[in-house]
Structure 1
Amino acid sequence: MTDAERIEAMEIALAHLTRTVEDLSDMTARQGQEIAALTRRLGLLMEREAERELAGGGTIPLADQKPPHW
């Protein structure tokens, strides 16, 4: 293998690696945005559930109640 062929092979490998790094970076950015959105939604759901439990008075939350056949 000549020096020119080795350099060309290295340039090809570098191009593939660069593309992979860019793809992974984009994927990581999208996942970060999705995690932030899901975190906000979870916070809203937790607030809504807490308000519903407070509005229910002194009753046991539905999730903690035993089914009627117990």
Structure 2
Amino acid sequence: MQHLEEKIAHLIRTVDELSDVVAAQQTEIDVLTRRVQMLMRREAERESDGGGGVVLGDERPPHY
């Protein structure tokens, strides 16, 4: 019986630790999601302003 109680205590501790890890990961995912959304909005604004010109490798710069 004591062996089972020790196993259960170990499993409970492991589940608690995993729960903490999952909660920390979710917090990080939320932060990263907000950052990506901010960058997407910023890029959309830049494209709509017309200032989002990207020079491709095969295009000549305007001064040629």
Determine which structure has more spread, i.e. the larger CA radius of gyration: 1
Same fold (TM over 0.5): yes
Amino acid in structure 2 at the alignment position of 1:46: M
User: Runs in 1 of length 4+ with deviation above 6 angstroms?
Assistant: none
Normalized per residue, which structure has more helix? 1
TM-score by structure 1 length?
0.73
State how many pairs are aligned.
60
Over aligned residues, Cα RMSD in angstroms?
A: 2.1
Amino acid in structure 2 at the alignment position of 1:30: A
TM-score by structure 2 length?
0.79
Whole-angstrom distance in 2 between the partners of 1:67 and 1:8 = 71
Instruction: Give the aligned partner of residue 42 of structure 1.
Output: 36
SS of residue paired to 1:67? coil
What per-residue deviation string (whole Å, max 9, x for no partner) do you get for residues 21-62 of structure 1?
0011111111111111111000000001111111126x7x41
2:22 to 11, 17, 28: 28
Identity of aligned residues (%): 47
